[in-house]
Amino acid sequence: MTHPLDQPADPFDVARQAADDIARLTGVAHHDIAVTLGSGWGAAADLIGETVATIPATEVTGFSKPALEGHVGTLRSVRTPAGSHVLVIGARTHYYEGHGTRRVAHSVRTAAATGATVMVLTNGAGGIKDSWQPGQPVLISDHINLTGDTPLEGATFIDMTDLYSARLREIAREVDPTLDEGVYCQFRGPQYETPAEVQMAKTIGGHIVGMSTALEAIAARQAGMEVLGFSLITNLAAGISPTALSHQEVIDAGREAEGRISQLLAHVIGRIA
């Protein structure tokens, strides 16, 4: 069967259908904030508030099965103690899966179509700064998109100044004043970077290397959302670390830091919501 986003249909219409599915399946007509949980951040879903409904992403128009163990394929509607509705997205489509940027952007566009005006993007990523350690969460201050691609179609000129909202970063630092921040470089993947690529990222101003967030942030800005980005440094980037990288190391670092960073994320969301 062809995928709805592979057809000439308008991707924003598909996102509106997906938002209608979410409203019907969760019974929550409107969400205020959305958060995508990357590796290491999954426990936050239980800490943000009371889960109103959990639905398999595959029941929502345009969402794909998760490609990876460690990536949860559900969408949850959570109500914060203050009564805000948070859409928790545990189903990310990565660019490296090769299905194109429409599918990558779909969860963000769907979040916007549910009414969310803030998009919180989290990921597990490699760290370049000398002072960082695996297991440390950092804020994303800006990005460099090295994929050579974009979720925007046509002559869509969109301002990217302050893409990662200074206002929201300030709120995050009120919750945890020790939070450092850095520039996220998105590589296509799925191979990890070579040490030379990491040196290039460092030279051009990058501090974090990953495979997910820049394209999603662009789509969020296009949809008019305010963006907050967090990376969990799961490992020192290739060549910064003296040892080889492994996917298992990334998963283990995520598991280990999960409780702590999920609490941080839940507190920050509680302040925004």
- Hey, which residues are catalytic here? 193
Comparing CB distances to ligand HPA, the nearer of 58 and 246 is 246
Which residue in the set 40, 49, 66, 126 belongs to the binding site for ligand HPA (CB under 6 A)?
A: 126
**Is residue 226 a contact point for ligand HPA (CB under 6 A)?**
no
Based on the shown chain and the rule CB under 6 A, indicate whether residue 214 belongs to the binding site for ligand HPA.
no
Binding span for ligand HPA by CB under 6 A among 17-25, 29-37, 67-75, 231-239: 231-239
Residue with tokens 């998963």: 251
Residue 227 vs 233, nearer CB to ligand HPA: 233
| Lookup: tokens for 35 | 């958060």
234 touches ligand HPA by CB under 6 A: yes
Q: Which is nearer to ligand HPA, 86 or 236 (CB)?
A: 236
Q: How many residues touch ligand HPA (CB under 6 A)?
A: 13
From candidates 211, 227, 266, 268, binder to ligand HPA by CB under 6 A: 211
**What CA–CA distance (Å, rounded) separates 130 from 126?**
12
The span from the CA of 164 to the CA of 162, in Å, is 5
Indicate which single residue of 41, 95, 132, 192 sits in contact with ligand HPA (rule: CB under 6 A). 192
Cα(237)–Cα(192) distance, rounded to whole angstroms? 9
CB 135 within 8 A of CB 246: no
Nearer to ligand HPA among residue 126 and residue 137 (C-beta):
126
Cα separation of 112 and 115, whole Å? 5
Whole-number Å distance between alpha carbons of 109 and 15: 6
Q: List, in sequence order, every beta strand (DSSP E) within the chain.
A: 33-36, 50-56, 74-79, 85-89, 118-127, 136-145, 181-186, 208-210, 226-236
Residue 204: CB atoms within 10 Å = 11
Q: How far apart are CA 49 and CA 77, in angstroms?
A: 10
Name the one range near ligand HPA by CB under 6 A: 1-9, 104-112, 119-127, 173-181.
Answer: 119-127
125 in contact with ligand HPA (CB under 6 A): yes
Q: By CB under 6 A, name the one of 62, 90, 151, 210 that touches ligand HPA.
A: 210
Q: With binding defined as CB under 6 A, does residue 245 bind ligand HPA?
A: yes
What residue number has its CB nearest to ligand HPA? 126
Of residues 112, 146, 168, 250, which one binds ligand HPA by CB under 6 A?
Answer: 250
- Calpha distance 68→55 (Å, rounded): 18
Binding site for ligand HPA (CB under 6 A): 124-126, 192-193, 209-211, 234-235, 237, 245, 250
